[in-house]
Amino acid sequence: MSEKNRPHRNLFLAELMIAILFFALCSVICLQLFSHSRMDSRQMQLENAAASRAESAAGIFQSQGIQGLADALDHSSDTDPEQMVVYYDSLWNTTGADTGIYAMSITLSTEDHMESAHISVYDMAEHTSLYELNAAHHIPYTLGDREVYE
C-alpha cells in the first residue's frame, strides 16, 4: 500500500515546493517595491524642501529686488555681486560652506529696468540639482528716467 501512495507523495512534495518558491518570489517582489517607494519618498521630501527654499527666495526677490534678497538671506559673502550662495545642513537650517549638505545658488543679472534671478538648489555631495526656477523683478521708472519716455 505504501508503494501506491509514493507517486502521490512525490507529487504533493513537488506542489509544496512550487508553492514555497512562488511565495518566496512574491515576497522578494514586494520587498523591492517597498524599498523603491521608500527611496522615492525620501527623494520627494528633498525636492519639496528644495522647492520651498527656492520659491521663498523667488518671492522675496520679486517683491523686494536684489537688495531685499541680499538682506533676507544668510548667504555667503562672496566677492561676486551677481552670485549668492546659501548653504543648508541636513535639516535645511542655514549653515556655513564647510558643513553644508545642500546649497542654493542665485545668479543675478540686471538689464534695462528688469532684474533677473536664476535660483538653483542642489545636493553638494551628489552634484545633482533638486530644483531650479527663474524669477524677475521690474525696477519702477522714476522721474530721473524721463528721457526714456521722450
Average pLDDT of adjacent 10-residue blocks, the chain of 150 residues: 66 90 94 87 90 94 86 74 89 90 93 90 92 90 61
Residues 56, 62, 68: CA angle, nearest 5 degrees: 80
pLDDT of amino acid 6: 67
Structure-block grid coordinates of residue 122 = 542642489
Task: Decide: 130 and 120 in contact? Cβ < 8 Å.
Answer: no
For the entire predicted model, the pTM comes to 0.70
For the chain, the domain total comes to 1
In the prediction, which pLDDT does 64 show? 87
Report which of 116, 102, 118 is spatially closest to residue 45, judged by C-alpha positions: 102
Structural domain boundaries, residue 108 = 2-149
pLDDT computed for residue 1 by the predictor = 46
Looking at residue 10, its pLDDT comes to 82
> pLDDT at position 145, please?
58
Question: What count of residues does the chain have?
Answer: 150
Cα 66 to chain centroid distance, Å, stands at 24
